[in-house]
Amino acid sequence: MRSLRDRLQGIHRGARESPNPTNGPEQPHALPDGFEEVITDKGTAHVREQRCPSSSIDASAVRDVLPFLLPAEKAPYCVSDMLFLDLETTGLSRGVGTVPFLTGVAYQDGEGIVIRQFLLRDPAGEPAYLEIIAETIRERPYLVTFNGRSFDLPILDARYMLNRMARPKTRGHYDLLHPARRLWGALLASCRLSYLQEHLLYCSRDNDIPGSEIPGRYFDYLSGGPASVLDDVIAHNGLDLLAMVGLIARMAKPLQGEGHWHEHMALARAAADIGQPGASATQTERALKRAGDDVQYFQTLRLQADLHRRTGGRPAGVPTWMLMISLVEAGISVGSDTVLPYIQMAKFAEHDLGDHGRALAYTRRAIQRIHASNVRDMALLEELEHREGRLIGRLRRTFPAACRCSIEG
């Protein structure tokens, strides 16, 4: 007679064998180094606190750069209200079964950065664990995360819901992932936090545990493995928190005039988007100086001209467009958009000067440029030919037949 267990084994081939099943759930797991018990209303939680007196949140960076990059979020009243937060979880899926077993936060007090890490010693202790996290968030309700909008915060929300607890109210949330992509997406091979830390903050993560091994470490711990299996995870979490602190300061660097072309461009666009032309102009000036090649230079000019046009009307863009045209005509390789300054000048000639002849000339030069190029935007070509036809029509009405041959020639 086959027992249920035999049948289970039959269908469950390849199941993981428990390495150390002797340590049952009754035996509380040992705590990793530095963790202490804290009593909450909902039971005992486990916290480790570390001070980093030498580091601090760069208050001026926060004040200067975040309004550009995260304009939708209200600025914090003061840096000490900010809470950097990062979760280590049992998996990457966003379903309700993913458990954030280690929550790290970092904040600043009078003596520098404090890192506090909360460990879910056993899933049964989740209410106390969530309670102390909630208390911490309530004290500093401006969160800073890296991809927290779509990962960390929804996961935490689900845990509060599952435990029928109110989720702590936050007053602001700075998710640094999107600004990071904006600044460095085109510059770096990856926008992963650890990668940014290594390549922008020059902080080595050589001994860092790969993210894919993190869930397994916790499972080992829960099934009776030594507390030290978590050490690497705890260190990893601490590094991530410090990386976020460092990243804000690093984001502000181009504002002080020492950035990469990509960074200045991103900031110039961001400033233009929120209606700060002055700041945007400063950044384009810097980008022009930092342009690594003709293509980048040309792109910067384009942004600059656009900015001028937006603030001062079409005539304000003219000097820059003329400069762009001279670059194109000098045969300098400027990448795509070579026809753009011609089109803008044609519009300027037609609408601002009323000089249809000049407008026609620019339009025809634009058409020639398209024909000369190996990449042909047919829609654009059609639009230009339409414009050409219209201008010819205007000129015919304006001038008598005498001019016809020269127009059509």
333 burial (CB, 10 Å; 0-12 / 13-18 / 19+) is exposed
| Placement of tokens 């954030």 in the chain | 100
Give the H/E segment covering residue 51: strand 43-52
- The reply to whether 222 sits near another protein by the rule CB under 8 A is yes
Q: Is 134 in the site for another protein (CB under 8 A)?
A: no
As measured in angstroms, the least distance from the Cβ of 7 to another protein is: 6
Region 227-246 residues binding another protein, contact defined as CB under 8 A: none
For residue 370, what are its two tokens?
């398209």
Nearest 10 degrees: Cα torsion 286, 289, 293, 296: 30
DSSP for 232-245 reads HHHHHHHHHHHHHH
Q: Select 10 or 278, whichever has its Cβ closest to another protein.
A: 10
- Interface with another protein (CB under 8 A), residue from 33, 51, 91, 335: 91
Figure out which of the listed residues 215, 238, 246, 341 binds another protein, where binding follows CB under 8 A.
Answer: 215
x-or-dash pattern for another protein, window 292-311, by CB under 8 A? --------------------
The values of phi and psi at residue 105, to 5°, are -130, 155
Q: What angle do CA 360, 363, 368 make, to 5 degrees?
A: 125
Q: Does the footprint of another protein cover residue 136 (CB under 8 A)?
A: no
Of residues 5 and 371, the one with the C-beta less far from another protein: 5
Token pair 């530095």 is found at: 34
Residue closest to 266 by CA, chosen among 277, 254, 256 = 254
Least spacing, CB of residue 223 vs another protein, in Å? 6
> By three-state DSSP, how is residue 331 classified?
coil
Edge-first strand order for the sheet with 100-109 is 36-40, 43-52, 112-119, 100-109, 82-89, 142-145, 172-175
Nearer of residues 39 and 92 to another protein, judged by Cβ: 92
- Is 372 near another protein (CB under 8 A)? no
Which segment (106-114, 121-129, 196-204, 231-239) binds another protein by CB under 8 A? 121-129
* Contact flag: residue 210 with another protein (CB under 8 A): no
Among 57, 83, 102, 158, binds another protein (CB under 8 A): 158
Distance CA 51, CA 167 (A): 27
11-70: contacts with another protein (CB under 8 A):
11-12, 15-18, 21, 24-26
Contact between 393 and another protein by CB under 8 A: the answer reads: no
Nearer to another protein, 164 or 397 (CB): 164
- By CB under 8 A, is residue 274 in contact with another protein? no
- As measured in angstroms, the least distance from the Cβ of 227 to another protein is 16
CB under 8 Å to 350, separation ≥6 — which residues? 356, 359, 391
The nearest distance, CB 158 to another protein, in angstroms, is 4
Stretch that binds another protein, among 8-16, 72-80, 243-251, 332-340 (CB under 8 A): 8-16
- Alpha helices, H only, 122-260: 126-139, 153-162, 177-184, 193-200, 214-222, 231-252
Question: Cβ 26 to another protein, closest distance in Å?
Answer: 7
Q: According to the binding rule CB under 8 A, does residue 150 interact with another protein?
A: no
Assign 118 to helix, strand or coil: strand
Q: What distance lies between CA 144 and its chain's CA centroid? A: 12
Residue in the structure block whose two tokens are 């390549």: 199
Interaction between residue 106 and another protein (CB under 8 A): no
Please report whether residue 123 would count as binding another protein according to CB under 8 A: yes
Q: Compute the chain's Rg from CA coordinates.
A: 30
CA separation for the pair 126, 117 (Å, rounded): 14
219 binds another protein (CB under 8 A): yes
Amino acid symbol at 352 = D
Q: How far is the CB of 167 from another protein (least distance, A)?
A: 10
Cα–Cα distance for residue pair 114/215, rounded to 1 Å: 25
Q: Which stretch binds another protein (CB under 8 A): 1-9, 187-195, 203-211, 376-384?
A: 1-9
Q: How far is the CB of 221 from another protein (least distance, A)?
A: 10
399 in contact with another protein (CB under 8 A)? no
Q: Point out which residues bind another protein (CB under 8 A).
A: 1-2, 4-5, 7-8, 10-12, 15-18, 21, 24-26, 90-97, 99, 122-124, 157-158, 161-162, 215-216, 219, 222-223
